[in-house]
Amino acid sequence: MNKGKPADLLSGPLHVVNVGLESFSEQLKDLGVDVVQVDWSPPAAGDPDLARLLSKLGA
């Protein structure tokens, strides 16, 4: 697990993981920003309540 420190965000270069709209990844790539696009699909068979529960359990 990363040990993020608050200052990391504002003081150094951005390293982005993009989850959702691909156009945001393309925009960042065009600007030379380090970005990884997640191949996302709705978790827990598309059940938001179950997805929420799983995220709280750390899954």
Positions in the binding site for other proteins (CB under 8 A):
1-24, 27-28, 31, 33-34, 36-43, 45-48, 51-52, 54-56, 58
Spatial distance between the Cα atoms of 6 and 22, rounded to a whole number of angstroms:
27
Spatial distance between the Cα atoms of 12 and 23, rounded to a whole number of angstroms:
24
Q: State the minimum distance, in angstroms, from the CB of residue 2 to other proteins.
A: 3
Q: State the minimum distance, in angstroms, from the CB of residue 27 to other proteins.
A: 5
Residue 25: partners with Cβ closer than 8 Å, 6 or more residues away: 18, 35, 37
Q: State the minimum distance, in angstroms, from the CB of residue 26 to other proteins.
A: 10
